[in-house]
Structure formats: C-alpha cells, structure tokens
Amino acid sequence: MFRRSRAFLREARTAGKLTHENITVIHDVGEEQGRPYIVMEYLSGTDLRTMLERRAVMTLERQISIAAQICRGLAYSHGKDIIHRDVKPANIRVLENGRVKIMDFGIARLGSSALTSTGTILGTPYYMSPEQIQGKKVDRRSDIFSCGVVLYELFTSRKPFPVMSDLGDVQDCPRNSRRF
Amino acid sequence: MYKIVHEIPEGFEELERLFPPALPAILGRMLQKDPAERYQSMDAVVEAFEDLSEVLKEERQSRASRRGSAKPGTEKTLQRDRLHEASTIAAGETPCQPPFRRQVHPPGVLHSRRGIETSPAAAPGETWSCRWIARRRHCFGRCSVSSDAIQPAQWHGDTEHPSMGARHRHRTGRSWTGFSSGLPDHAMPFTLAPGTYVLTCANPGFVKTFRVRVVVAQDSLSQVTQTFPGYTIERVLARY
C-alpha cells in the first residue's frame, strides 16, 4: 500500500507538470493521514461516458473537434514522455464551452490499472490495447489504440469490441418492445 | 478481450458507409493490432483530423455556393419550391433549403408506405410539419419506407392517425405524446433541427443504421419513429 501511494504521488507530480489546454491542471498532490490526495482544477460540463450514455446529439464538426482535442492533449503529453495508459470516455470531460479536458493522467499506472483515481473498478477492459492485454510492453502507441476505441465510440455510439453478452443496441430497448 | 486481440472492429462497414471516407481510414489505422502498423505518433493523428475537418469545411462551402448559384428552375420546380416554402412558413418555421429530392404533396394527403391516404384531420389551411426524405433508400434493407412522408403538424385531439394502430394516439399540438414508441425516455427531449442525421433503428433482434434528412424542425424523436413502421428510432448518432 505504501509503495502504491508513492507511485501515485510520483505519477501525479509528473502529470502536474503538464500544462495544455486539453489536459486537466493538477494543482497539488500530497498525503494526508496516510491517504494520498490530489487537487485538480474544477471542471464543469459532463464526461464523455455520460454523453455517450445519454446519446447526446452532436454534429459531425463537434465530434471531429472533440476527437482532435483529445488527440492534441495526448500528443502534448507524449511529447513530454508521459503515457496516459487509461484513455477512456470516463476520463475525458467535455466542458460547456466545447473545450475537452483529459483527466487522470498517469494515475492509471497505479497498481493493475483496474482502479482509477475515482475508485471505480473497470468492468471490462474495452479500451485496452492488444499489447496491454497480453502484458507486453506498453508505449505511446497503445494510447493511440485506446484513443481509437474512444473515438470509434464517439462517432458510432458503439464499442468496436463489445463483449459477447453485450447485445448492445437491442438490449437498450425497453423490455416491452422486445419480442423475440 | 479476445476480440480486441483478434477481431476487426464491429460495425466498421457501417462506419465506412455513413461517414466521409477519411474518418474510417483514420480510426482503422488507430485500431491496428500491431503497434507498428498504427500511427507512430499522436501528432500524426492530430494532423489527420485537422485535414479531415478542412476537407469537410471546403465541401460545405462548395455545396453552399452551388446551392446559391442554382440555375433557374422550370415552372414546375419553382412552383414546388413555393409550395414547400409556404408549407414550412405556415408551420411556424423558418423556410429552409428545399430538400435534396423534392417532392411536395398537397396538404390533406398522407403519403405512407401503403400508398396515399387521406388524413381525417385535414382541414383547410392546416399546416404540415414534418417531412422525411431518405436519401439512400437502399440503406433501409428490410424496412421499406416511403422516401417522402408527410405528417400534419396540428393534429386534432385524440384523432387516430390512419396509418398507425389504435395504440398511437396524439394530443392536440405539436407534441406527439401518448405515442408508445418504445423509445427510451432519455431520447424524448431531443429537438431535431433541419439537417442530415445518422440514426440507428432498432427492431427486435435487428438493428440498422441509416442517414435521414430532416427538412423541418422536429420536436422529438417520436415523430421520426412514425416514418419507419415497425421500427424504433433508437439513437441519433451524428448530424451533418
């Protein structure tokens, strides 16, 4: 546990050095009574996961603008040699003014990456790259893959690699409209 | 897990069919299994997206200019244009560009899949609010839909629409409540402005995505649903 929080602090500090309009600013990290904490900028708006779940209607321009901003943020961090490792819609926030912010930088490295800073457990690794799943070396190109999955979902509202039990669209219908 | 490592993205053909070709190309390359085949840096991806948005902007501009300098229409098309404009203005909407494939039917006549039916609620001067033009008929597959369907805007209270079952009742006014479309609740408050949309239609055990053009603003998705008998409009993916 101790080692973990060390890693947490280290990662958060490196991520804190990132200043880019598409990356969430981290003001402070530290430890309080043995618990690591992180102070980041306050963000309005909704995260991309919620937007996709609510099936927000977006114009093609808007989708492309969001996509380009995500890529720009990641390109900047890759330039600083920081790999996100956990690019997913829940980690991307779309502000009211249309600005996109990527969150949880480097924090995903914590442990097995099943735990993010908000404490949610990842159910299915939809957004993991093949090399990540196979336990091979992870580099910036696996961020590109994860980003690709997110963008695929952004444009089509469906996951490119759904799990078998996931009936997807059909399952989303109310029960009474399903007649098999 | 298996799919990520071994399979191609699901629904990729659809993506190719519905979006400008550059987009599936970018996503396809990002989703390569072998890192060496992907883009080697995020900067390249950013560049690709910037190119794409530029291409779209140019396309839009050229389309707009083409529309502006349209050659004068024949008597017949001009008349249709006027009719179209009159019907949209009457519906309280700002007149929009005539649709891709123009076909204006006189009010009082409902064009449904089954042919021409006379609407019971059609009164003189009644306005018609929605008109759907499917630009790509072949996309519908099993779902045979007329390429142009008109529904009246002001529907008199509790009148049943002839082309719909007794279950579908409408209230006076423009909102079509009481319509049991099987639509998820969160899909209801959408307002569809005129434009081209990519929609997903779900039928029990069958899902289809296609492109639809909205000519006059829609209050909610439920109005769209009526155009596709037997189908439920499930989600709006994008707007062009």
Contact B42, A140 (CB under 8 A): yes
Q: What pLDDT was estimated at residue A72? A: 94
pLDDT (average), residues B24-51: 89
Helices (H), B1-139: 2-6, 12-18, 22-30, 42-68, 75-90
Task: Give yes or no for residue A42 having a pLDDT over 90.
Answer: no
Yes or no, beta carbons of A147 and B30 under 8 Å apart: yes
The verdict on A39 touching B (C-beta cutoff 8 Å) is no
pLDDT (average), residues B99-104: 35
Confidence grade of residue B182 (pLDDT, cut at 50, 70, 90) = very low
Task: Give yes or no for residue B6 having a pLDDT over 80.
Answer: no
List, for residues A76-109, the tens digit of each pLDDT value.
988 888 888 888 898 899 998 889 999 877 654 5
> Which residue would you say has higher pLDDT here, B13 or A77?
A77
Between the alpha carbon of residue A32 and those of residues A29, A36, A119, the distances in Å are: 10, 6, 17
The verdict on B63 touching A (C-beta cutoff 8 Å) is no
> Which residue would you say has higher pLDDT here, B141 or B35?
B35
List, for residues A135-160, the tens digit of each pLDDT value.
777 888 888 999 999 999 998 888 88
Task: Give yes or no for residue A114 having a pLDDT over 50.
Answer: no
Among B15, B38, B42, select the one facing A78 at the smallest CB separation: B42
Q: What pLDDT was estimated at residue B144? A: 27
Yes or no, beta carbons of B35 and A131 under 8 Å apart: yes
The DSSP code for A47 is: E
Q: What pLDDT was estimated at residue A73? A: 93
Q: What pLDDT was estimated at residue A71? A: 94
Yes or no, beta carbons of A160 and B32 under 8 Å apart: no
List, for residues A44-78, the tens digit of each pLDDT value.
888 898 888 887 778 888 889 999 999 999 999 88
**A130 vs B contacts (CB less than 8 Å):** 4-5, 33
Chain mean pLDDT for chain B: 53
List, for residues B72-96, the tens digit of each pLDDT value.
444 444 444 444 444 443 444 433 3
Distance CA(A109)–CA(A157), nearest Å, equals 27
Yes or no, beta carbons of A178 and B204 under 8 Å apart: yes
ipTM of the complex: 0.75
Residue A159, classed as helix, strand or coil, is coil
